[in-house]
Amino acid sequence: MTPDTVWLARGRHAPGSAEDVLRRSLQQRKDSQAIDDFLELPEDDTAPAERVFEARWRAGDDVTVRARLSVKPGPDDGDGQQEWMLVAEAEQPWNHAWPSPAGLFWPQEPDTAWDQDAATHLIPREINPLPQDDKETRRLLRNTVRGGWHIHVVVHEAMTTDDRGRTPVARWLPPGLRHRVVEHHAAPQQLRGLNWALRDSGVQVPRGGAVVLPGVPAPEGYDAQDFSVRAVFLDGSEPADLVDAVTRFAALPRPLPDGAEDALTALRENWHLLTLEEELERQRGLVAMYAEALEAMTKSRDLYREAAESAHEALAAYQESAEAAPARPQASGPPGPSPLQQLTRTFERFKVKRPATAAGDEETAGRHVTSEQ
């Protein structure tokens, strides 16, 4: 499941150098103190053809946020587009009132070309009209619910709207949700074909209303009635019911989107942008780990030395017993353990009490015993 401390986004950058755009934007954010610092990882520390940027900042009541954005060529060879993936994690559960991590990495000018849904090439924070063909609409909506990276909202326009009715719902959403919501609009005559296209999703759009699509798989606790809005007034006023539905949907527990698990692991385990205090703590941890390993190796060496000495003593006793055996009279009663049995038992006791060690240590012990012999 997606941890409640994590913020995720994925998108596509139009043809052009996304790395240069990120470098300029992050430097501007650092100069304006919107972020504390950023780092571009060397190519040796990343996958081939991938560029990785790290940034950290403080949100809310001095909550540290660490974020990692990777950029790589898109799946369509030769088109020049690049796909990016952004994972951010805070020290506390994420608050959507905090700034959007995507808005801190990428520039916010209206002519930027980074904010595209990777699956559909649609633009979050804008109104995206549905295709006129019903089959194309069905194919589009089927692709939108896969992957789980964006929240998709479908709005039916009960009548043709003017410019006031062309205001995206993202305008009223909290900052942390504006880059995660893709808004689709159906024309007045498209309601029947729209609901036909949505029948596999188990949801329907009311006339003049809206619905938040569940995605595949649907989040735990999703009920179509709870995330359906009966009426959306496209007159420029705030669609409070729709904003509430989107906000409640974003709070539902959901599985990690496709590909996000590896990105989250990289953020947590391969973080490079450390403060001086964090670097010192890291070095202390390494020293403690090496000290424990050295202590374990010392104990293992002592056990092997003890075993070798015991084996040497048992072998010497066996040799002495074998030399004196012809002159020793037969004794009545059950025979005691032979020196060979004593030697075997010595090794068995060592086998029980010695700790589990690497194969290389066992070879060392064998050479030690041989040399003692």
**32-51 pLDDT, tens digit each:** 999 999 999 988 767 778 89
CA distance 309 to 320: 17
Band of pLDDT at residue 77, cut at 50, 70 and 90: low
Mean pLDDT of 325-353: 55
- For residue 369, the model assigns a pLDDT of 40
Which pLDDT score is estimated for 342? 60
Q: What tokens were used for 228? A: 């359906």
Rounded Cα distance between 86 and 284, Å, is: 30
Going along 124-251, which residue ranges are E strands? 127-129, 151-156, 181-186, 210-212, 228-229
Q: Which two tokens stand for residue 309?
A: 């000495």
User: For the residues 280-303, what does the mean pLDDT come to?
Assistant: 75
CA dist 327 and 288 (Å) reads 60
Residue 5: what pLDDT?
95
Mean pLDDT of the chain: 82
Report the Cα 33 to chain-centroid distance in Å. Answer: 27
Per-residue pLDDT at 120: 79
What's the confidence (pLDDT) of residue 366? Answer: 47
Please state which of the ranges 32-36, 204-208, 266-270, 353-357 shows the lowest mean pLDDT: 353-357
pLDDT at 69: 96
- pLDDT the model gives residue 276: 72
Least Cα distance to 25 among 99, 80, 107, 88 occurs for: 107
- For residues 1 and 341, the model is more confident at 1
For residue range 119-174, what is the model confidence (pLDDT) as tens digits? 778 888 889 999 999 999 999 988 887 777 889 999 999 887 777 778 899 999 99
Q: Which residues pair with 72 in a beta bridge?
A: 83
pLDDT band at 314 (very low <50, low <70, confident <90, very high): confident
The predicted model gives 96-120 an average pLDDT of 85
CA 6 to mean position of chain CA atoms: 9
Distance separating alpha carbons of residues 288 and 282, to the nearest angstrom? 10
- Which residue has 């990785």 as its token pair? 52
Residue 359 reports pLDDT greater than 50? no
Averaged pLDDT for residues 80-97: 92
